[in-house]
Amino acid sequence: MSTGLLDIDLAALAANWRALDAKSGPEVRTAAVVKADGYGLGVSAVAQTLARAGARRFFVAVAEEGVTLRRVLGEGPEICVFSGHMAGDTTAIRDHDLIPMLNDTLQLTRHVEALPGHPFGVQLDTGMNRLGMEAAEWVEVVPLVLELGPMLLMSHLACADEPAHPMNETQLSNFRAMTDDTGVPRSLSATGGILLGRDYHFDVTRPGIGLYGGRPFEEARPVVRLSLPVIQTRYLAPGETVGYGNTWTAKRPTRLATVASGYADGISRHLSNGISLFHGETPCPLVGRVSMDLLTIDVTALSEEPETLDLLCPAQGIDAIADAAQTIGYEVLTQLGRRYGRRHRQRETA
């Protein structure tokens, strides 16, 4: 195989959902966020696995993702759309039984006029200033919304991955002030909010990154392994340089492996000279710059010629890569390139 292989452990994915479901509590419905093609891992296999694990409500970013997901899941599971009811979404929402999370009065009017009686939820802005109705707007439409019967009121925490951040309590207080007297089911927490405790759970939780093995769910089982094929090996004498810009110079006799992957495959140039790939448990430093299609790896420590090297593996998860690239695990996952082969495994892992 001349491109990398992304090995996706669906049993670990299901185990992570069950663990977060248990943390949410028996009285709470645990949904699943599968936007961005199941965080880059393939929404078909991801969503079907989570449905078998027990998820009955799913969240996507836009209506187009909802259409794809409905074709995967068939009738029954609820599919909620964070972007609400945008212009041009009516047919998709109606024909594929999607539930828009309405974000302002314009969307509310559009939805009620285009699809009277069709289910909807409302997203409220409790301080993140990204999506949802602000408090003043919400107060004006509360009587109408409650008369129409929303199936969910939701908001989103800005700093849930920092448990001590005062913004968490501020948003919790704001959410309660906006929703306590409505009698409508409520949702505030994604993965980080679940870990903040029961006060943040309400009626529905919406785990996302924790399902896929990322922070802040430190107990998560790793879901992905990325193995990259070695195209060629060569020997360097001390003083020889590697890659664009001559950014790495051999200080000793070095065996170098050239690997088929690069920034076109989602491996950031910020990782240049900054991480290792693994052969089993042996780290092999990435030397020189990450280029579009190739990486150069110092494999001098290996006693054999490697056929593949692992970028993602139990020894180095998505958050380790994210830290080295000064980003977050979400970005690492969702940027994984389409050239990789994807193998979805159902068997249980250790």
> Percent helix, strand, coil in the chain (nearest 5)?
35, 25, 40
Burial class (CB in 10 A: 0-12, 13-18, 19+), 237: exposed
DSSP β-bridge partners for residue 133: 124
DSSP β-bridge partners for residue 302: none
CA-atom Rg of the chain in angstroms: 23
CA distances from 113 to 40, 109, 118 (A): 35, 6, 10
Alpha helices in the chain (DSSP H): 10-24, 35-39, 43-53, 63-73, 90-95, 105-114, 135-148, 166-179, 191-196, 318-325, 329-334
35 an active-site residue? yes
263 an active-site residue? no
Amino acid at 238: P
The answer for residues whose C-beta is within 8 angstroms of residue 95's C-beta and 6 or more apart is none
Q: Are 84 and 152 in contact, with CB atoms under 8 Å apart?
A: no
Query: Cβ of 48: how many Cβ atoms within 10 Å?
Result: 17
Report the alpha-carbon distance of residue 189 to residue 313 in Å, rounded.
Answer: 29
Q: Catalytic residue among 23, 35, 263, 340, which? A: 35
Q: Most distant CA pair in the chain: distance in Å?
A: 77
Report the alpha-carbon distance of residue 1 to residue 257 in Å, rounded.
Answer: 16
Q: Are 23 and 196 in contact, with CB atoms under 8 Å apart?
A: no
Q: Catalytic residue among 39, 200, 235, 244, which? A: 244
* Catalytic machinery residues: 35, 244
